[in-house]
Chain A
Amino acid sequence: MKSITGAYEGVFHINGQTRRMVVFPQDTLLSLLRGHAVSLSGAKPGCENGDCGACTVVLDGLPVKSCMKLAVESEDTAITTVEGLYDTEVPKQFLDKWAFQCGYCTSGFILVAYAMLLNTSRVNDAIITEWLRSNVCRCTGYQEIHEAVWAAANARGNGT
């Protein structure tokens, strides 16, 4: 039985790299990613209550709110953050379509869109809306985000 009662050295697979890191059992995945040992600040703390989606990352191909997941539960999974999507289609389209303003929510939207494209061979407006509903943006328009996701879907061959 896995039992963790204090500081614990775990093995984490983040953006294709395997790293050994010390975590405490109550640490969330969000705090692990943003802490000094990893220093990936792409996943953002917003509500830290599962509501806003700013902290979204992808675990084994599915979107997860990292404020709602323990770090120790994320061992042995493939963790993808926005830093792992550098120079890929979804962030490129967000830039191209100006789908952000302050940018605080943007990495969460990018990760949800990325996961949707991994899991859906053909997207449509209803599917995009359903996946994006998990995330909240306080300052730009959802229209541009929607357009960026469509553009990424078409570029990757997931369009209709």
Chain B
Amino acid sequence: MMTPLMAYYRPSTVTEAVTTFRQLRQDGHHPAYWSGGTEILTRRRLHEIYPGAVVDIKGIPEVGQHAVHGRDMIFGAGISLWEIARADYWPLLTATADRVADHTSRVQITLGGNIASHLPYREAVLPWMLVDATAWVGTIKGIQTRPFCKLFDGRLVLADDEFLVALQVSRDVASFPYTSRKMTRRDWVNYPLVSISATKDVHTIHAAFSGYALEPFRDDAIDRVLSEEDLPYAVRAERAVAAIPRKAISDIHGSAAYRKFVTQYTLASIIEVLEGGQ
């Protein structure tokens, strides 16, 4: 069978990308923004999507930036997870990104593609859910900045023709205590039973979760329980799991009960690490 045609566009500015996307949509081509392309190709192979055209954003300089500027760190959406770990500007992001997929795939999977993924995991978003980050968004009017917390609610919330250009965060976050744990059923390389990124500022532990529910999440109530310093680690971990406002999923990787069990003992060890127990 002939593979249906999929036109390819590689703009060099944000405005050109959005204008091209709009035109393609208007002409009925069902375009998609293309970054690493790994998810589009796999979903297309499974006949889940049929983009008639892709707009490759990696030729746009702002999408490829990866730098420390003054007090801030800037991560372009087109930077690969491998490159993020290699440069290691933000250790929590490195630790989380470095556990997504396998080494070769991380050369290709990008930060923006992972955060905008249609799969439930989006593990590279977890550190961003724990800090005050600013998102650069590509719009018809050029780049706009928005608080990342307003843009990500389990999934990336953008207008159909907008795309993530970059994420910006204060360098201060790189010095917070952190830990990141990805728990898989058996193999090292696999989708997570649960993946948790956590950090601590002064007295509060902040944790974000992927794999446990249908979307990544964090919650103030969970953070409060995790931070009750008078209680033993195991008790806090048990209460934190009870406070999770999402339904644990049951799938090929593990049952809901098993996920809760794994999440609980992982949280106990995370608290211990963040409070300097070991």
Contacts and interface: CB of A to CB of B under 8 A. Distances in A.
Query: A and B: real partners?
Result: yes
Interface of A: 1-6, 24-26, 28, 48-50, 53, 56, 62-65, 67-70, 72-73, 112, 130-131, 133-135
Interface of B: 3-12, 16, 20, 36-38, 41-42, 45, 56, 59, 82, 101-105, 107-108, 188-189
A68 B37 contact: yes
Contacts of B6: 25-26
Nearest to A119: B86
Nearest to A31: B3
Given A6-B5, A64-B107, A50 B42 contact: yes
Given A69-B37, A133-B102, A3 B108 contact: no
Contacts of A49: 42, 45
B104 A70 contact: no
Nearest to B107: A62
In the complex, which of the residues B8, B11, B59 has the most CB atoms of chain A within 10 Å of its own CB atom?
B8
A65 B104 contact: yes
Contacts of B59: 2
Given A48-B45, A68-B38, A26 B5 contact: yes
Interface of B is mostly: mixed
Contact of B8 (A64, A72, A130): A72
A50 B38 contact: yes
A24 B3 CA distance: 10
Given A24-B5, A26-B3, A1 B104 contact: no
A4 B105 contact: no
A5 B4 CA distance: 12
A25 B105 CA distance: 21
A64 B101 CA distance: 13
B8 A65 contact: no
Nearest to B6: A26
B7 A73 contact: no
5 contacts: A25-B8, A63-B104, A68-B38, A68-B41, A69-B108
A26 B56 CA distance: 13
B37 A73 contact: yes
A5 B27 CA distance: 14
Contacts of B101: 50
Contact of B105 (A2, A70, A134): A134
Contacts of B9: 1-4
A114 B148 CA distance: 39
A109 B6 CA distance: 31
B10 A2 contact: yes
In the complex, which of the residues B9, B36, B103 has the most CB atoms of chain A within 10 Å of its own CB atom?
B103
Contacts of A130: 103
Contacts of A28: 41
A120 to B, nearest CB: 11
A127 to B, nearest CB: 10
A5 B24 CA distance: 12
B165 to A, nearest CB: 17
A134 B8 contact: no
